[in-house]
Structure 1
């Protein structure tokens, strides 16, 4: 999609949804949680203190078109050389990539949207964290590498990103975080399903 077309899409979504985003509640559930919440009402920025978001969920795909991802590299138990560049490669089915708004000004601002084929429009991320204790959850605030994969997939559904400086020696987990246009996690039509993301564990020596 060209930059001009992307701009037109963003403008159209803004025009249709801006009132709902800021003021509306869900008429089907009388969802007025943000009227009662003590959290600040969101404004499109990333608020580290938390916030209350009024954006409606938007379009949900059919179960036949649920997003699913695999990390092609590094593979499970791959051993890499310390402080040496490598490329993370991913493959995602049923995600129309290249849809990425400005996270500094439009975070969670738009509902999820589908393309003409009923596939979620969005993008992916790669995040790498060092594992200190394999039996304890990792601190979500601490990561060794993070990158948004914002461009359209070159060959349909594969994306990659280079870790330019490599990583220090240690044990690591690499995960994908697939997102809709406005960075919210992709929304699926049924609860019982496979995960839309993938993680692999690897070692750097």
Structure 2
């Protein structure tokens, strides 16, 4: 088989693949996706079976006001005493904290909003998961600790969560989940950027 013929065959295969990927989502569906979805229409509750949400995305900040977070404690590779209370400390910039609706009745029900200075109004969460196999993704349904950080940040710009009973001995991953007022992940103006969240790995022993 000639090189030209091989090139034509490869090009045809690639074109077919790109066509299948690009057109697997109907761009004409637009905001009508919930009219044709087989998922239940959302009603402000957290539906474990999934749902279709009609809330618009809302206001999106400028590039100079994008959200970024650091976990201050525990730090990456820290070792802390097992079964001993400790306080998780995080700091997030460009987020007006303390904006938190009722997750039982108002989940995903409001669009993202900005304050008068152009900063997202929202809150954060922390979630801790035990690591059994560091080379495999963790099961998102299983966590050792979870808490919504609903209050405004303190004078140091920190949000905190007390883990009252500590954690059993083991390796853990701690991550933040920064959210808008109605609990949806914060929306940023550009795709190429640093993450709005932070994760660290630490050990209780």
TM-score where L is the length of structure 2: 0.85
Match of 2:141 in 1: 141
Task: Name the count of aligned residue pairs.
Answer: 178
CA distance in 2 between counterparts of 1:156 and 1:174 reads 21
Q: CA RMSD in A?
A: 1.2
User: Does structure 2 conserve the Cα–Cα contact (< 8 Å) formed by 1:45 and 1:105?
Assistant: yes
Does structure 2 retain, via aligned residues, the 8 Å contact 1:95–1:157? no
Q: For each residue in 1:64-98, what CA deviation from the matched residue of structure 2 results, as whole angstroms up to 9, or x when unmatched? A: 00000000000111101110000000010000000
Counterpart of 2:48 in structure 1 is 48
Which residues in structure 2 correspond to 1:76-115 (within 5 Å)? 76-115=76-115
DSSP 3-state at the match of 2:153: coil
Tell me the SS of whatever aligns to 2:31: coil
Q: CA deviation at 1:116?
A: 0.6
Give the drift of 1:157.
2.6
Larger Rg: 2
Q: How far did 1:30 drift?
A: 4.0
Q: Post-superposition shift, 1:155? A: 1.6
1:97/1:151 contact within 8 Å kept: yes
Alpha carbons 1:175, 1:197 under 8 Å: kept: yes
1:34 matched to 2:7 = no
Following superposition, the deviation at residue 165 of structure 1 comes to 0.2
Aligned to 1:20: none
Maintained 8 Å contact 1:44/1:106: yes
Aligned to 1:19: none
Cα shift readout 1:132-191 (whole Å, capped 9, x = no counterpart): 000000000000000000001112631111100000000000000000000000000000
| Residues 74-126 of structure 1: per-residue CA shift (max 9 Å, x gap) | 01111011100000000100000000000000000000000011000000000
Q: Name the structure 2 match of 1:14.
A: none
Give TM-score scaled by structure 1 length.
Answer: 0.85
> For 1:151-190, what aligned pairs fall within 5 Å after superposition?
151-155=151-155, 157-190=157-190
Task: State the SS of the aligned residue for 1:35.
Answer: helix
